[in-house]
Amino acid sequence: MDFEDVPIKGMVTMIDLGAKKCIPCKMMAPILERLEKAYSGKAAIIFIDVWKNGSQAKRFAVQAIPTQIFFEKDGKEVYRHVGFLKEEAIVEQLKKMGVTLSEDASGG
């Protein structure tokens, strides 16, 4: 993926800036994988390893990892969180931004 295309134009986007070896980042990995599948076609859920892609840490002004940033469809940042973020909190934020799952999709 070309990170210059992030946030995805025309789609609500959540990026998680972290590292594969950071403990809270590792705890978030299965959550992000689930949400990426669940929101496929509705919202972009993207993980960026800032230890491998340092320029992205600068670009998004990351102070600590993990950092989650939520963008509206027009690319405007609307919410930022630093640290581990529970799945429920991510779903809630996406809901506030108008992205909902059909009931059957959230069951797994």
Q: Tokens at residue 50, please?
A: 């800032």
Q: What is the pTM of this model?
A: 0.91
**Known catalytic residue: 29?**
no
What is the predicted pLDDT for the residue at 107? Answer: 46
| Residue of 25, 35, 43, 45 marked catalytic | 25
Which residue segments constitute the domains of the chain, with CATH numbers given? Answer: 3-97 (3.40.30.10)
**Known catalytic residue: 60?**
no
Within 10 angstroms of residue 63's Cβ, the number of other Cβ atoms is 8
| Inter-CA distances, 17 with 14, 20, 24, 98, Å | 10, 10, 11, 23
> For 34-68, what is each residue's pLDDT tens digit?
999 999 999 999 999 999 999 999 999 999 999 99
| Residue of 22, 29, 82, 99 marked catalytic | 22
Decide if pLDDT at 97 tops 50: yes
Give the containing element (helix H, strand E) for 81: strand 77-82
Torsion 4-52-60-39 (CA) sign:
positive
> For 67-82, what is each residue's pLDDT tens digit?
999 999 999 999 999 9
> What does the radius of gyration of the chain's CA atoms come to, in whole angstroms?
13
